Structure formats: C-alpha cells, structure tokens
Amino acid sequence: MKYFLLAVLFLSNLIAEAQSQDEQFIRKIYDEALARGQSYEMLEHLCTKIGPRLSGSPGAAAAVEWSRQVMQAYGFDSVWLQPVMVPHWVRGKKEIGRIVNSKKLGLEAVNICALGGSVGTGAAGVLANVVEVKTWDELKQLGEKGVKGKIVFFNRPMDPKIIPMFSSYGGAVDQRANGASEAAKLGAIGVIVRSMGVNLEDYPHTGSLRYALNVPKIPAVAISTRHAELLSSLLKDDKELKFYFETHCETLPDAPSFNVIGELKGTQYPEEIIVVGGHLDSWDLGQGAHDDGTGCVQSIEVLRLYKAMGYKPKRTIRAVMFMNEENGLRGGVEYANQAKLKNEKHIAAMESDRGGFTPRGFTMPSDAKAKEKIRSWKPLLEPYGLADFNQEGGGADISPLAPQGVPLMGFLPDSQRYFNYHHTPEDTFDKVDKRELELGAASMAALVYLIDQYGLK
Amino acid sequence: MKYFLLAVLFLSNLIAEAQSQDEQFIRKIYDEALARGQSYEMLEHLCTKIGPRLSGSPGAAAAVEWSRQVMQAYGFDSVWLQPVMVPHWVRGKKEIGRIVNSKKLGLEAVNICALGGSVGTGAAGVLANVVEVKTWDELKQLGEKGVKGKIVFFNRPMDPKIIPMFSSYGGAVDQRANGASEAAKLGAIGVIVRSMGVNLEDYPHTGSLRYALNVPKIPAVAISTRHAELLSSLLKDDKELKFYFETHCETLPDAPSFNVIGELKGTQYPEEIIVVGGHLDSWDLGQGAHDDGTGCVQSIEVLRLYKAMGYKPKRTIRAVMFMNEENGLRGGVEYANQAKLKNEKHIAAMESDRGGFTPRGFTMPSDAKAKEKIRSWKPLLEPYGLADFNQEGGGADISPLAPQGVPLMGFLPDSQRYFNYHHTPEDTFDKVDKRELELGAASMAALVYLIDQYGLK
C-alpha cells in the first residue's frame, strides 16, 4: 500500500510537472508571437505587394514563389511546391449594372459583380424584366411561365439574428451557389443574387457558383445589399422595370499552379504528420487579407515560432498553403491524393480560413476520442480567450483528408466582422488588426504543440 | 414521502420552466437587438453630428440635451438631468512638438498633444535637453542633478505580451498620471510621455494627468509611439539634442453640466434600482466612439429593448449617462451622493466603458454571493459568446457607489483593439462594428434582465 501510494504520488507529480511545462511553453509561444511576431509583416507584403491572387493569375504565381522563399528564408527543414492544375476564370472588364425604365428613378446604376465561374454576357449584355424570389419554393411557384426570358433576383438576406456568422452565411449562400442553374432550368436568361453580407453596403460580394450538368449556363451577378434593397422596393409597384447587366468574364483553359509546403521534421516520430494550413489563392476584388492571407501567414508563423524558440517537434509539422480553395478546391484534393499515394500518416490537420480576428477557440474533429483529448487541454488554452470547443468541422482545404481518417479541426476566431469583408474589395490589409492576427497564430501554435506532444489518440 | 417526491418534482419542473422562459426571453432580446437594434444609429448621431464632448464644451452640452431627448422620445417612464459642476479644461491652439538640433536630423517635427489637465506653455514654449526614463527608479537615480531644468521623457511601453489590454495599460499609465509631478519634484520643466498604445502609431494619445499638491505644475505632453521610438533612438548617441514644445491649453472655471438619467419604473419592487451606464463626456481629439459613446447608446438600448419587447421590469432600471469620467469623475461622484441623500436602494450597477467590441463576458462584483449568482447564469449567456466571468471590477463612474455596498459589474468586450483608438483622433464612428455594438447591448440587457428577475442576493 505504501509503495502504491508513493507510485501514485510520483505519477501525479509527473503529470503536474508536465502541465506546468506546457503552461510555460504556451506562455512563451504567446510572448514570441506578441513581442516579436512576424505574421503582420508577412501579411502586409502578401496583401499590398502581391495583392489579389485568384487561381491562374499572375498574383497567384507571385504568392506561390513568395511563400516558398519566405519559408526557405526562415530555414524550415524542407520547402517544396506540389504541382496542381487549377481552373482559370477571369473577370475581364468591369461589370455594368443598371435598373432601366424604373417609374421612380428612370435609369439607375447599381453595384454588381460577376459571380466566380459565371459565363459572361459579352458586350450585348442582358436586358430583361426581373422576378424576385426569396426561397426555392417561390421560384418553383413561379414556374416556367413566370421565369422564362426573365432575370431571377434571389434576395433572401443573411439572417442577422444568428450569432455565429458562418451559420448565417450557410442559410443564404445556396442562392449564390445554385441560383443560376435552378433559374436556368425554368428558362431564365440571367440571375442577380443579393450579396452575402449582413449589413447594408455599397459593394457587391463575389464568390463561386456551381453550374449543374446539362443545364444552360446563364450569366450571374451579385448585387450590393443596399442596391438589392433598392431593386426590391422598386419592384414592389413597378412590374415593368427592367434590369441590364454586362459582364466580360470567361473561363480559360486550366492553368498550372502549386500548393506550397514547408516542413519541420519530427525528431521522434518523423512519419507522423501534423498539417496547419490556409489557402493562398483569393478572390480578385480585394487583397485576400482575411480570406485567407491571414490563415497562410499564421500557418507559416506557427513553424517560425517553433524555430525561433528552438523547439524541435516530436512529429513532423507542415505549413501548407493550399491553392484554389475559392473556385475548385484542386489544391486540397491534390494534397490528399498525394498523401494517399505516398502512404503518408497524417495524425491531425488544422485549417485557418475564418479570418484573422480575435481567437475564440477551435472547431473540433468528429472523432470522439480526439475531441475529448483536445477538450482536456482547455485549462491550458482558456487564459488566452480560447473558450469555444463546441462546434465540429475542419475547413474546405483539409476536408479531402477526411476519408483517410485524419482528425480535422479549425482555428475559430470571432466571426462578427468576417462578412463585412468576405469576397469584396474591402478585404484589404488595413482591416486586419495586428494583435488579433498574432494571437491567432499563437493560438494555433499552442494547440499544434499539444498535439505534437501528446498526439490525439 | 410520496408528497415530498411530488413536491420535489413540482419544484424542479418550475425551475426548468423558468430556465426555459429565461432562455427564450434572452433569445428575443438578441433578436430585437440584431434585427431592429437602434444603438448603431444612435451612435452615428452622437459621433458624427455631435462629435467630441469634453466636459464643459458645447459638444458635451449638446450630448446632454440629445440623450435627454432620445430617451424621452423612446417613452421611458422618467427622464431627467442631474446637475453637476465639472472641470473645464480646453486644449486651445494645436500643439507644436520639435526635436531640435539633432545631430542626425537637425530639426524634426513630431506628433504630440497636451495631456488633459496640463498647464500650457503659452507662446514661449519649452525648450530643453531631454532625459529618458522607463521606471520611477531610473528617475530617482537621476535625481535633481540629472533632471533639473530638463524635460523628462517617460518611455516605458505598454507590454504587448499581456493578453488583456487593460492590464497592459495599467502597467504603463502611471507615467501619464504621475509623471509631471514626479519630474517637477526634481526640478524638471516639462514632461513627454510615450502614448498609451501598444502599436507603432503616428498619432498621440491624450488622457488625464494628476498634479500633486504643493508641487510646481509643469506642462506635459504625450508623444506618438512612433516618435517616441525615434526620440529614444536619437537620444542614444546625442545627449545634446533638445526638444521644443508649445501647448496652449488651460483650465477655465468649473462649468455647469449634467448626468442624464432615464428610467423604467419597477412594477413589483420599484424602490430597488439597477443602474446600467456609460459616460457621455469624451476626449476632444476624436468622436468619443469607443470611449464611451458605445457604452452610452448600449445603456439606452437596454431600456429601449425592454420597451420594444413589452417587458415590464420588476425592479426600477436606470440608464445613466455619466458626465466627466475622463477628467474628474464628478458625475459619478454626484450620482452616488444623490443616491445616498435620497436613501435610494441600488441593488446592482453595471458599466460599459471598455469599447463597443465583440462581447466576452462581464467583470464581477467583489461580493461572493452576487458573483456566484451571476456565474450560475453562465449556461444562459454562453451561447452568446459570454464566457469570461473571471475578472473583478465595475467601472470608474459607478465606483463611488461601492461604499453603499452596491454590487458593481462591468460589460466585458474583447480588449485587443481598444488601445488603437483610446483617447486619439482615431476614436471615430467608423471604427465601431454594427453587430459587435448590438451584441454588446443585447448582452447587457440579458444580464440586467436576470438581475431584475432574481436579484443578486
């Protein structure tokens, strides 16, 4: 009994010591990130010197080469490019949008932009009457008779009453994704979608649409929320109102591009890989700051922090800049393909693609044991404002790793401001707060450190 | 036994029902604030139509009358002004700051502003050598010999490694508050204080100083953090460098002003008062948006939300716009005086004076029972991101109620961006996010509702 008690005492001392070491190590991660962090300077370069970087664009190519050089300059153990062919959509000349022959306003210019992947109207434009719907049921009710030859205006707003903004987005984005094909099935010749923003704004939000197979591809644009309200109010007593829009976008042949990968080799279990990543491509309208420049520089910063602190991870830790999240996910798919081909053993993957805002927590893997293990670390993370470990999910780029049984998780910053900027000309460097960005990088480094130390089994 | 069990069952049903009613009511508060909230429109008016409102200024008078009219228009049961005499400091002509005869730069203009309450230099200005210190010990070491006839430059930065920014502020603001008098005791003729901001910025942060009794009042200015770095680096190998500054501030006789109070009368315990408040005065450089326009409009919004929802509080709920938090606290002191004189029974007071950022939680009263009661409501508040119930404290304006035994608490938003704006020309309406502001108002209304329902005993 005496020896048993001594053993228990010894063990609990060991555990307490480990906890206190972890506590100290995590504190040092935050110290380094906040006092000597480099994520903000990296982001400034990526946003203001390179700027927008839609898949296939020169900006995307510049971002690939820049991030390769940055990780090499930091002296990561290996840095390499993983080739992947990507869709190459270009916006072309600035779009024109006009309300025509309105009884109240006559002719009125409105702020629109083509949706990513849309066919263009060319110089002829599209001119037609407009029917407004908020639900798929309303569209169905209208039927071919009500829709044929017209422009369908999808105007269901993001619900402001929903607290997590990604859930609010989830309740409206089906219009952007599927609106064009659903309207085309009934004979529509064009589609206007209310921008995915919760506030009244003057600028439109772009984003991908999905054309269904064997349905005519009709041109689709997003309209600013303020002009969506205007159009809707005019339509109420003016059924003869027409809308004109002109877009010059087109899809070119697939283009060569790359995922960019940097790695610190594990000292004890080099074959066990932990991925931390964001996506390097962005929409073309802003600078891709919150979406997803922040996730990229935070991922690089995680490895840089370890190097700066002299930390040698037990497992191999990879920063992955995925290419083509916005309009194809080809980079994420290729990364998972290669992992499978090479028989790589990924023990965890974390994505940061919700903006560089103040940290709130992490989204959890679906695996119950992994989830429980992460939650057991809550006392170590809560002092840094990481309190939300409730939602499940990883991120788009890492999702193709799911079939290989990799536990997927996401960095979870505050979501309230994200959709002010998402996919708009406003997504620029100056919208990112230095400390919020740095705290995010440190939070990611803290959780990756714990996974590196203890695994997720 | 059977009846006992039935009674237990009955009671636990009652409790569950109450909880579910509270849950639903709180959900409705957020719905109203997010879908039809008016705090943002109020703030826009206060910031952009009225603007800065330092105690004694025409702006402060306008803000008093505006908030009285707003609360009256909302139909609160009573709205009144509580007279209070306030200090009346004016900045006068824009300050001039120059590094003079620097070996490297010659003459260099730098960004400074007078500290609130400082005496001015007048047109003669102050020109002298500069000694830099970071601690009180360093100042003491220099002694009269090292300080006499010179300008003391207090250059201890806010520590970026501290996570809650108010703690970081607390570790540096003593320089601004006491620097002038401590330097004057040793014969200094002027003081420069590094601005209370954690980032490198071009604009200075103002804020109050305190002159000690029987010590010569010497002029004091804040310098932007970027120019503090410049000055410090020049001083390293250039002891002959001089600094010139000119300020035209002065303290006029006390001026009449008011706290503005709006009230919903309690239906069951009208004599029990719950205060929710912010301060109406602001510094003169910006628009007083985060400091503390947001706290004012959120407090009004709490009562407006109840009225809009048809909620009749059991207890009396007061929105108080305190006057003169920034440079005197006269409003807070007078409110507490009047409460004592009238023998009013305040059962709780909550202040919002940490900016209109995304909600994190509340700071707690020191009373253990009250604290425990609030924490027992955590499950009702956590779904709204209110997870931090750890820190103690109320707020400056309500602190004079402490001797009357009133439980004091504070609304606790995220603190990371606050000191980018605090006391600067950057504290403007456009720095406030609509949803973050609205969520704050709803959070305050939720906790005040629970206190109204159940008290804090």
| pLDDT tens sequence across A103-161 | 999 899 999 999 999 999 999 999 999 999 999 999 999 999 999 999 999 999 999 99
Q: How far is B373 from chain A (nearest CA, A)?
A: 21
Interface test with A, best of B28, B41, B414 (most A CBs within 10 A): B414
For the domain spanning B92-248, the CATH number is 3.50.30.30
pLDDT digits (tens, 9 = 90+) for B254-294: 999 999 999 999 999 999 999 999 999 999 999 999 999 99
Q: Which fold has domain A26-84+257-454?
A: Aminopeptidase (3.40.630)
Q: Answer yes or no: do B433 and A420 touch at CB < 8 A.
A: yes
What is the CATH architecture assignment of A94-251?
3-Layer(bba) Sandwich (3.50)
Q: How far is A306 from chain B (nearest CA, A)?
A: 17
pLDDT digits (tens, 9 = 90+) for B220-240: 999 999 999 999 999 999 989
Contact B194, B232 (CB under 8 A): no
Interface residues of A toward B, Cβ cutoff 8 Å, are 30-31, 34-35, 160-161, 163, 165, 198-199, 358, 360, 383-385, 387-388, 414, 416-417, 420, 433-436, 439
Contact B144, B156 (CB under 8 A): no
Residues of B in contact with A198 (CB under 8 A): 435
Q: How far is B198 from chain A (nearest CA, A)?
A: 9
| Sign, CA torsion B59/B63/B69/B74 | positive
Interface test with A, best of B34, B309, B414, B416 (most A CBs within 10 A): B416
Geometric angle at alpha carbon B254, from B252 and B256, rounded to 5° = 130
Residues of B in contact with A433 (CB under 8 A): 416-417, 420
- Ranges in chain B annotated CATH 3.40.630.10: 26-89+253-454
pLDDT digits (tens, 9 = 90+) for A25-62: 999 999 999 999 999 999 999 999 999 999 999 999 99
Q: Which fold has domain B26-89+253-454?
A: Aminopeptidase (3.40.630)
Q: How far is A34 from chain B (nearest CA, A)?
A: 6
pLDDT digits (tens, 9 = 90+) for A199-237: 999 999 999 999 999 999 999 999 999 999 999 999 999
Q: Return the pLDDT at B1.
A: 58
Residues of A in contact with B160 (CB under 8 A): 34-35, 435
pLDDT band at A239 (very low <50, low <70, confident <90, very high): confident
Average model confidence (pLDDT) across chain B: 96
For residue A30, give the nearest of B161, B416, B434 by CB distance. B161
- Residues A92 and A105: their CA atoms lie apart, in Å, by 29
- Ranges in chain A annotated CATH 3.50.30.30: 94-251
Number of other CB atoms surrounding residue B68 within 10 Å: 18
Contact B242, B248 (CB under 8 A): no
With a pLDDT cut of 90, the percent of chain A lying above it is 95
Active site residues of A: 325
Q: Answer yes or no: do A358 and B414 touch at CB < 8 A.
A: yes
Q: Which two tokens stand for residue A246?
A: 């002109």
- Residues A168 and A170: their CA atoms lie apart, in Å, by 5
Please tell me which residue of chain A has the smallest CA distance to B434.
A199
Interface test with A, best of B29, B161, B167, B388 (most A CBs within 10 A): B161
- Residues A28 and B185: their CA atoms lie apart, in Å, by 40
Average pLDDT over every residue of B286-313: 98
| Sign, CA torsion A160/A163/A165/A166 | negative
- Ranges in chain A annotated CATH 3.40.630.10: 26-84+257-454
Contact pairs from chain A to chain B, CB under 8 Å: 63
pLDDT at A391 over 70: yes
Nearest Cα residue to A84 out of A211, A253, A260, A251: A260
| DSSP structure class, residue B239 | T
Q: Return the pLDDT at A5.
A: 65
Question: For A330-334, B106-110, B394-398, which range has the lowest pLDDT when averaged over its residues?
Answer: B106-110
With a pLDDT cut of 70, the percent of chain A lying above it is 98
Q: Return the pLDDT at B239.
A: 85
CA atoms within 13 A on the CB side of B129: 11
pLDDT digits (tens, 9 = 90+) for B148-168: 999 999 999 999 999 999 999
Q: Return the pLDDT at B147.
A: 98
Residues of B in contact with A163 (CB under 8 A): 30, 383-385, 439
For chain A, how far is it from start to end, CA to CA, in angstroms? Answer: 31
- Residues B196 and B222: their CA atoms lie apart, in Å, by 9
Q: Answer yes or no: do B385 and A388 touch at CB < 8 A.
A: yes
Q: Answer yes or no: do A160 and B435 touch at CB < 8 A.
A: yes
- Cis geometry, peptide bond prior to residue B291 (ω within 30 degrees of 0): no
For chain A, the three-class secondary structure string (H helix, E strand, C coil) is CHHHHHHHHHHHHHHHHHHHHHHHHHHHHHHHHHHHCCHHHHHHHHHHHHCCCCCCCHHHHHHHHHHHHHHHHCCCCEEEEEEEEEEEEECCCCCEEEEEEECCCEEEECCEEECECCCCCCCCCEEEEEEEECCHHHHHHHHHHHHCCCEEEECCCCCCCCCCHHHHHHCCHHHHHHHHHHHHHCCCCEEEEECCCCCCCCCCCCCECCCCCCCCCCCEEEECHHHHHHHHHHHHCCCCCEEEEECCCEEEEEEEEEEEEEEECCCCEEEEEEEEEEECCCCCCCCCHHHHHHHHHHHHHHHHHHHHHCCCCCEEEEEEEECCCCCCCHHHHHHHHHHHHCCCEEEEEEECCCCCCCEEEEEECCCHHHHHHHHHCHHHHHHHCCCECCCECCCCCCHHHHHHCCCEEEEEECCCCHHHHCCCCCCCHHHCCHHHHHHHHHHHHHHHHHHHHHCCC
- Please give the model's pTM, rounded to 2 decimal places: 0.95
Average pLDDT over every residue of B328-345: 98
- Ranges in chain B annotated CATH 3.50.30.30: 92-248
Residues of B in contact with A416 (CB under 8 A): 358, 433, 435-436, 439
pLDDT band at B17 (very low <50, low <70, confident <90, very high): confident
With a pLDDT cut of 90, the percent of chain B lying above it is 95
Q: Answer yes or no: do B435 and A416 touch at CB < 8 A.
A: yes
Q: Answer yes or no: do B433 and A439 touch at CB < 8 A.
A: no
- Residues A231 and A152: their CA atoms lie apart, in Å, by 12
A184: left (phi over 0), alpha (psi -120 to 50) or beta: alpha
Q: Return the pLDDT at A19.
A: 78
Average model confidence (pLDDT) across chain A: 96
Residues of B in contact with A361 (CB under 8 A): none
pLDDT digits (tens, 9 = 90+) for B167-201: 999 999 999 999 999 999 999 999 999 999 999 99
- Residues B216 and B252: their CA atoms lie apart, in Å, by 18
**Residues contacting A27, CB < 8 A, separation 6+:** none
Q: Return the pLDDT at A18.
A: 78
- Residues A58 and A56: their CA atoms lie apart, in Å, by 7
Strand partners, B163: none
pLDDT digits (tens, 9 = 90+) for A56-99: 999 999 999 999 999 999 999 999 999 999 999 999 999 999 99
ipTM of the complex: 0.94
Q: How far is B436 from chain A (nearest CA, A)?
A: 7
- Cis geometry, peptide bond prior to residue A238 (ω within 30 degrees of 0): no
Residue indicated by tokens 């072309």: A92
